[in-house]
Amino acid sequence: MTSEPKNTNLQNVSFLNNLKKKTFDGDKKNFFITIRNFYINFSKKIYDTFLTNNDGMKAAHTRSNILDKIIIACFNNFFVLSTNKINLRNFAIIATGGYGRGELAPFSDIDILFLHSIRNKKKLENIVKPFLHILWDLGLRIGYATRTAKECIYFSKKNLDITTSILESRFIIGNKTIYNQMKNEYEKKIINTQGLNFISK
């Protein structure tokens, strides 16, 4: 895999907690600039490497890894993205579709599942929106769903596309327990009970 460009190690991005609004806005901007430069630099490396080795699968895997890094950085620095003091304990970000397989082609949609066990809709909205806004600001096309584990199972029984997306899902960041619980329920209630029907379709 290509090495990271200099000065784009997202783990070194540091911001202060409890920032005043004026200062916060400045740090939010600087955080986005760091993310954007990271994305631009690595995207160019992927393109240049592809022209050299003509390996489309490696390019797709590398692009998927880059998006993982960006999402993880946003999660770990969430207080920079939002003025709301929110606990992300009952929340996870899951890759689905081609992104879930780690095969993210250029210009393809980036499919994300925001998996949660949060009852307060406003609180959930205040978590999801900052992630979407920074990804949209990067010019990315995001296909997303916001569901509980129970909703994932319910909709998987009714919609083949959702069934497939859960099958190909991959944990990125957050509460892995709720993801594992969802996958266990999915295996029991979808794979073990509807597996043959799923294959026949």
Residue 50 inside a domain? The answer is yes
Nearest to 96 by CA among 153, 185, 165: 165
Q: Map residue 107 onto helix, strand or coil.
A: coil
CATH code of the domain containing 169:
3.30.460.10
Residue 2 inside a domain? The answer is no
Residue 33 inside a domain? The answer is yes
Residue 47 inside a domain? The answer is yes
Residue 1 inside a domain? The answer is no
Q: What residues make up the domain containing 14?
A: 10-200
Residue 125 inside a domain? The answer is yes
pLDDT tens per residue, the chain (201 residues)? 333 333 334 444 433 333 344 444 557 788 888 888 888 888 888 888 888 887 788 888 888 999 999 999 989 888 777 777 777 889 999 999 889 999 888 778 899 999 999 989 998 998 999 899 999 998 899 999 999 999 999 999 888 888 888 998 999 999 999 999 999 999 998 888 875 555 455
Residue 4 inside a domain? The answer is no
Conformation bin of residue 158: beta by default, left when phi > 0, alpha when psi is -120 to 50: alpha
Number of domains observed in the structure of the chain: 1
92 Cβ neighbours under 8 A, 6+ residues apart: 114, 115, 116, 171, 172, 173, 174, 175, 176, 178, 179
Residue 155 inside a domain? The answer is yes
Nearest to 33 by CA among 23, 25, 45, 21: 25
| pTM of the predicted protein model | 0.81
Residue 64 backbone phi and psi in degrees, to 5: -60, -45
What whole-number distance in Å separates Cα of residue 65 and Cα of residue 77? 18
